[in-house]
Amino acid sequence: DQQVKQNSPSLSVQEGRISILNCDYTNSMFDYFLWYKKYPAEGPTFLISISSIKDKNEDGRFTVFLNKSAKHLSLHIVPSQPGDSAVYFCAAANAGNMLTFGGGTRLMVKP
Amino acid sequence: EAEVAQSPRYKITEKSQAVAFWCDPISGHATLYWYRQILGQGPELLVQFQDESVVDDSQLPKDRFSAERLKGVDSTLKIQPAELGDSAMYLCASSLQRPPDTQYFGPGTRLTVL
């Protein structure tokens, strides 16, 4: 039973355009959501997070949107850069409990 | 910048052999995690420590896997005996506090069981 799903295994975007990565969850008890980025041969690195009391959080080129009624979150990268090419994982948690990760989306930003 | 250290980076072993992985978390981080990531999937938590105590090991296959963090600092994950299905990336992470505090990941150990 996958509680966190990333339905697009890959995404290709032109440099300078917007990248939108999507994530769906099923557990209504989740109240904190995170995005991690992973380059080959490295561990995941934290990118941005959002609490369930918010519907948007922005950090530079990265914005995460949360739609609680739809149990859906998305990560927007604007503008996309070739260095953003990596695998992106969304993760969810409820306070004090473990993170549950999605399966990841491979983003390729073409110059 | 402080990092989570893991060794070895790569390990090839034959099935039925024993393997061990080591993790040194960021200094001062009380919470330590071991994850397994199968190719094409997200990390799956195996065990979570708070200081030297196990907080969650519900997903750890205890018949063959063991983990310890004796002094509440570094940690060892052991598999004995290894099986073909154990081939995966084993990631260690640490955080100052319990989830959902930001977790910082090490580079991982890529295990191949032949």
Distance in Å, alpha carbon of B38 to nearest chain A alpha carbon: 10
Which residues in chain A are closer than 8 Å to B98, comparing Cβ atoms?
Answer: 96
Digit-coded pLDDT (tens) for B27-86: 999 999 999 999 889 999 999 999 999 998 989 999 999 999 988 899 999 999 999 999
Identify all chain B residues contacting A96, using CB atoms and an 8 Å cutoff: 98-99
Lowest pLDDT segment from A53-57, A74-78, B98-102, B104-108: B98-102
Residue B32 bridge partners (DSSP): B49, B94
- pLDDT reading at A96 higher than 70: no
pLDDT band at A88 (very low <50, low <70, confident <90, very high): very high
- At residue B97, does pLDDT exceed 90? no
Return the closest-CA partner of residue A60 out of A91, A43, A39, A84. A84
pLDDT one-digit tens code per residue, A57-75: 999 999 999 999 999 999 9
The contacts of residue A87 (CB under 8 Å, 6+ apart) are: A37, A38, A104, A105, A106, A107
Which of B42, B98, B107 has its CB closest to that of A42? B107
Chain A residues with CB under 8 Å of B10 CB are: none
User: How far, in Å, are A16, A46, A74, B13 from residue A80 at the CA level?
Assistant: 5, 18, 15, 41
In this complex, the residue of B44, B99, B105 whose CB is nearest that of residue A44 is B105
pLDDT digits (tens, 9 = 90+) for A3-51: 999 999 999 999 999 999 999 999 999 999 999 999 988 899 999 999 9
Contact A49, A66 (CB under 8 A): no
Residues in A whose CB is inside 8 Å of some CB of B read 4, 6, 9, 32, 34, 36, 41-46, 49, 89, 91, 93, 95-99, 101-104
Mean pLDDT value across residues B80-109: 92
Among B26, B31, B45, most A C-beta atoms within 10 A, so best to mutate, is B45
At residue B72, the pLDDT reads 86
- Tell me: pLDDT of A95 over 80: no
